[in-house]
Amino acid sequence: MPNNPRIAIFYTGGTISMTKSDEEGGTVPTLSGEDIRESVPELDDVFDVEHYDYSRHPGPHMTIERILTLYDAINDALTEGFDGVVVAHGTDTIEESAYICDLVHDDP
């Protein structure tokens, strides 16, 4: 699919990856990026997608250090020539991650 946009998707855990765990007494991020990808197979018809399992943390566990490491991975993907990046992130802290990435990113 050389004519389709090349997209990197980073999976960080969070709500989108959670399943019920009787052992943990609630829900925990257990689904991999591949598990989530399988729910939207049409993406591969439109984009040349590469999937990255960055982490499987609940949203509140995204520390500044983890966010900055994620930023480095995003920046590397853009430097490698990806047309775009998608971050599948938990809803509890997505705005903090987006804000920190915006602060340190110096290219529009």
Indicate which residues carry an active-site annotation. 15
> What distance in Å separates the CA atoms of residue 59 and residue 54, rounded to the nearest whole number?
13
CB burial of residue 104 (10 Å; 0-12, 13-18, 19+): exposed
Token pair in block for residue 74:
């995003």
> What distance in Å separates the CA atoms of residue 14 and residue 62, rounded to the nearest whole number?
9
Amino acid residing at 63: T
Token pair in block for residue 2:
């050389």
> What distance in Å separates the CA atoms of residue 19 and residue 97, rounded to the nearest whole number?
23
